A and B are shown apart, each in its own frame.
Chain A
Amino acid sequence: EVQLVESGGGLVQPGRSMKLSCAASGFTFSNYGMAWVRQAPTKGLEWVATISYDGSSTYYRDSVKGRFTISRDNAKSTLYLQMNSLRSEDTATYYCTRDPYYGYDYAWYFDYWGQGVMVTVSS
């Protein structure tokens, strides 16, 4: 059974940093691209970042470029999101997701989602 378990969320002040983690199990993590998708309170969904199966390629939405870094440790089957210079508009539940395409290709949709972790940016 595929499982994605996020951790590391909480309350953080504007301008500060936070790092999210996602522990994956139930599939060969190193074969798949992974992504973070967020959902602001009572709002819709927004893609944040994607990383290739081997970590060599990364993609970001414009509003987080230069502030967020997606990375992975295939030996630990773990996905990360380092978030710097946080803003109030980054307040959201962050979901760890899997891109269903195998290897060096992307579907750009998401077949498995974690339960999500809440990040609140407020003074």
Chain B
Amino acid sequence: DTVLTQSPALAVSPGERVTISCRASESVSTGMHWYQQKPGQQPKLLIYGASNLESGVPARFSGSGSGTDFTLTIDPVEADDTATYFCQQSWNDPNTFGAGTKLELK
């Protein structure tokens, strides 16, 4: 299975720019997607196809990358962005998720 590696945690101040990375163990082309999960809630789709913003998601969120290296950027970060962010690849079978990056606000 394709393994997705994410940094476990990040801490940033409101108003800053943050990049959350996801590295795949093999190429996933642009079949990478990002989700936000707040405590006690279900995941929410933010970005699909590596760089496409899901409808209703603020333009502060953006995604980039292809192949094995991907980035989710939040600029500027707001207090409400405190959450865990998961990447998911759908290019290889089975689809797999990263372990998540917990974003904390200073």
Interface on A for B, CB 8 Å cutoff?
43-47, 61-62, 95, 100, 107-116
A110, B97: Cβ atoms closer than 8 Å: no
CB of A114 within 8 A of CB of B42, answer yes
Question: A44-B86, A45-B86, A107-B48 are known contacts. Are A113 and B43 too (CB-CB below 8 A)?
Answer: yes
**Do A44 and B100 form a contact, CB below 8 Å, given A107-B48, A109-B90?**
yes
Q: Is the CB of B42 within 8 A of A115?
A: yes
Q: A45-B86, A47-B95 are in contact. Are A109 and B100 (CB under 8 A)?
A: no
CA of A46 to CA of B94, assembled, Å: 10
Known A-B contacts: A62-B94, A113-B42, A115-B42. Give 18 more (CB < 8 A): A43-B99, A44-B99, A45-B35, A45-B43, A45-B86, A45-B100, A47-B96, A47-B97, A61-B94, A100-B48, A107-B48, A107-B90, A109-B95, A111-B45, A111-B48, A111-B54, A114-B42, A116-B42
B76–chain A nearest beta-carbon distance, Å: 26
* Residue from A108, A111, A112 having most chain B Cβ neighbours under 10 A: A108
Contacts of B51 in A (CB 8 A): none
Interface string of B84-106 (1 = CB under 8 A from A): 00101010001111111000000
Top 8 A-B residue pairs of the complex, sorted by shortest distance between their CB atoms: A108-B90, A113-B42, A45-B97, A109-B33, A44-B99, A108-B95, A111-B45, A109-B90
**In the complex, B38 has a CB within 8 A of chain A:** no
Q: Which residues of A contact B48 (CB under 8 A)?
A: 100, 107, 109, 111
On whether the beta carbons of A95 and B90 are closer than 8 Å, the reply is no
Q: Which of B22-77 contact A (CB under 8 A)?
A: 31, 33, 35, 41-45, 48, 54
Q: What residue of chain A has the Cβ atom nearest to residue B34's Cβ?
A: A109
Given the complex of chains A and B, what is the CA–CA distance between A92 and B9 in angstroms?
A: 23
A47 contacts B42, CB within 8 Å? Answer: no
Nearest-CB distance from A84 to chain B (Å)? Answer: 20
Query: Could you jot down 18 A-B contacts, CB within 8 Å?
Result: A43-B99, A44-B98, A45-B97, A45-B100, A47-B96, A61-B94, A100-B48, A107-B90, A109-B45, A109-B88, A109-B95, A110-B43, A111-B45, A111-B48, A113-B43, A115-B41, A115-B42, A116-B42
